[in-house]
Structure formats: structure tokens, C-alpha cells
Structure 1
Amino acid sequence: MFVHQVDEEVSLKLVDLGDAEELFQLTDRSRDHLRTWLPWLDHTKELKDTENYIKFSKKAYANHEGMNTVVLYNGKTAGVVGFNELDWTNRIAYIGYWLGVDFTGKGIMTRAAGALTDYAIRDLGMNKVDITAAEHNRGSRSIPERLGFTEEGKIRSREWLYDHYVDHIVYGMLKEEWEKLIR
């Protein structure tokens, strides 16, 4: 089981079916907050939906195609961060994340995404890490910006959010850039 202690407050644990209830409750409590930027909330209406997501995540991990972790903040489930995709041919890891409404503004996701960036480059041997965020989602965009990622461009109409399209900003971190930053 993958468990990574980021610091004294934050750790990452490979998502497992034992996390389903707590993760679903966090999603449900944060529904209004998350719905602004995440398209999957209308498909996560009951515990079984979260269980199906976890099964999908476990299969992706077993096939070396992705890796989703529960973000723990002082031992409490705070959200999810992971590799939505691992592109082994091009050595690119794509990070995605979300936090429950009660856990924002504490630097939790910046620390978690930084730890995953480091893991992708040092342990998985990736050459690049990508993070995309909706253009007007300042909270999400601030994470790669604080970590020193380079803004690489905009993908127009990248995602359908319930009743409209949103553009996404793409951020990238190359291996050699990360190695210079963490020295």
C-alpha cells in the first residue's frame, strides 16, 4: 500500500475501498463548493458511486495507468490528489486534485501536489508533470504557480461543466527544472 508522509500534517494514502464512506461524506458536504469546477458531482450521488470510482482508481493503479491518493490532513480525509494519467511513452504524469470545503486555504494541496511532482520525477522517472485547471479557477491555478510550474498555454473549451464550456490553462514542470528548484 502506497503511503507517503509529506510533512507533520499532510500524508497521501493510495485510495482504497475502506475510504469510500469518508470520501463520499466529504464529497457530499463539499458538493456546492466542488460543483463550480468539477463535472462529476452529478454522477456521485450515493456511496456506491464513490466505491465505483475507487475500483476504477485501483484498476488504473494495477495497470500502471494512474494513481489516486486520499489526502490526509492531521489524519482526516481532506480530498484527493493523484495521477489522472501516467504516459510512460512520453514520460509525463498528469496530476489532478480536489479538496473538501473545510480544508481549503491551508496550503494542503500545494504540499500534496509538490510531493506527487517529486515522486513522479524521482521515483517514477518521469520527465514532465502536467497540471491543468479551469482558467478562472484561481484556487486551483495557484497550486502549480506556487510550485514553480510554467504556464504553457490555454486549451479552449476543454471541459463541459453542466451547462457551459470552460477553458483550461496548462502548467508543466520538466525534470531539470524541478531538480534546480529543490536543491
Structure 2
Amino acid sequence: MFNKNCTDKVTLRSIETTDIFDLWKIAFDGDLEWMKWNGPYLKDPVLSLEAFTKLAEERYVNNPFAAVVVYENQIVGQVFAFWEDGTLKQWLEFGICLYDQSTWNKGIGSEVIQCWITYLFETVPLIQRVGFTTWSGNKGMMKIGEKLGMVREAQIRKVRYYQEKYYDSIKYGVLREEWQ
């Protein structure tokens, strides 16, 4: 279990069972604008509370690679990380979802990701790189990667199809020595 103050307004902490309803409510029981930016080409379903609870209990609760984003004492999103290479555990990727639109374009995503990358490097001392993948339609995530000094490592052209248009898949990464 962890609790990491990123700034005076932003905290990352372990996801607890008692957070599941609040996460579901902001993610799926209201404004779904975030889904238009979080890999919409994957056509992820809008989850019921029951389905989300099952998913959260399996993947998020008691997982050191998952955390809620708390802004001004309110849960507004989550971050997570996963091993892209499975059991080899050398290639760590992460993601972020800020569900509440009122938190967008305020620098909160940058603060959260900066804090999360630091946490990941501290938690996994042997890992040499941390990164994320986005798509060329999500200018906000691309801007965050660049703002934090991450390297645009790959651009796979026209592989993400959304609203009758092709977009690029884009990977950002940072090495431990670049981060420190």
C-alpha cells in the first residue's frame, strides 16, 4: 500500500475496495468524454458497476502498479503500469485516465505522470526504461510526453482507425538516467 503526495493538490495512492464505486461513477456513470481520447479505436465497452467491480478487484486492488489519482481530495482518475514483455519484466509501460473533464488542461496529467514515473523507477530499481503509448489523435498525451522530456521513440503510421480516419500509434519513453 502506498500514498504519494505529488503536489499540494495531487496525490497517488493504492486502490482500495472502497474506491471501486467512486472510480466506476466518474468513469462510466456520467460524462464519457474521456473514452473518445483513451484508445477509442479499441471500442471498449461502457462497464456496468458489476463488471467494473470484478475487473477492479482482479486488476487494481492490492496492485502496486495501480493507483487512484486524487485531486483536491477527490478521486478524478487512475494510473496503472504493466509489463509489456510479460514474465521477462524488463519493459514497463504505463497509462493514465483522468475521467473528470474539469481536470483537463490544468497540468494535472503532467504532475501525475511525473510522480508516477518517479514511483515506478523507485519501486522497480532494476528497470531501465518506462514508457507509454498513445495515438496521434490525442494531442494532450503527446504534449505531456514532450513536456516531461520523454523521447518519442516510435511512430507507427496509420494503424489506428477511428471515425473513418487513420491515426498513428505513438510511443514515448524515458530511461532511468535521463529521468534522474
Q: Which amino acid aligns with 2:153?
A: E
Closer, same or farther: CA 163–15 of 1 in aligned 2, 3 Å: farther
The Cα offsets for residues 121-159 of structure 1, whole Å up to 9 and x where unpaired, read as: 233112001111111211121111111000111134555
Tell me which residue corresponds to 1:68.
66
Q: 1:153, 1:171 within 8 Å by CA — same for their partners in 2? A: yes
> Offset of 1:44 from its aligned partner?
2.9
CA drift at 1:45: 3.3
Q: 2-side partners of 1:59 and 1:10: how far apart?
A: 20
- The corresponding residue for 1:97 is 96
Taking structure 1 as reference, are residues 60 and 18 closer, same or farther at Cα in structure 2, changes over 3 Å only? closer
Contact 1:37–1:161 (8 Å) recurs in 2: no
Aligned match of 2:119: 119
Percent identity of paired positions between Structure 1 and Structure 2: 25
Please say if residues 79 and 97 of structure 1, whose CA atoms lie closer than 8 Å, have aligned partners that are also in contact: yes
Deviation at residue 162 of structure 1 after TM alignment:
8.1
1:13–1:59 distance in 2 versus 1, CA, 3 Å? closer
1:162/1:70 CA distance change after superposition, 3 Å? farther
Q: Partners of 1:140 and 1:94 in 2: how far apart? A: 14
Matches of 2:50 and 2:163 in 1, distance apart?
22
What is the SS of the residue equivalent to 1:29? coil
RMSD: 2.6
Is the CA contact 2:83–2:89 (under 8 Å) kept in the aligned structure 1? no
Show the counterpart of 1:50.
52
Could you tell me which amino acid in structure 2 is paired with residue 135 of structure 1?
Answer: S
Within 5 Å, give how 1:5-154 maps onto structure 2: 5-27=5-27, 28-31=29-32, 33-38=33-38, 39=40, 42-58=44-60, 61=63, 67-85=65-83, 89=88, 91-99=90-98, 100-125=100-125, 126-154=127-155
Q: CA deviation at 1:10?
A: 0.5
Task: Please say if 1:174 is aligned against 2:172.
Answer: no
**What is the number of residues matched between the two proteins?**
174
Offset from partner CA, 1:5-24 (integer Å, 9 cap, x none): 11110001122221121111
Structure 1 residue runs of 5 or longer lacking an equivalent are none
**Secondary structure of 1:43 counterpart:** coil
Q: Identify the residue that residue 3 of structure 1 maps to in structure 2.
A: 3
Cα distance in 2 for partners of 1:113, 1:78 equals 14
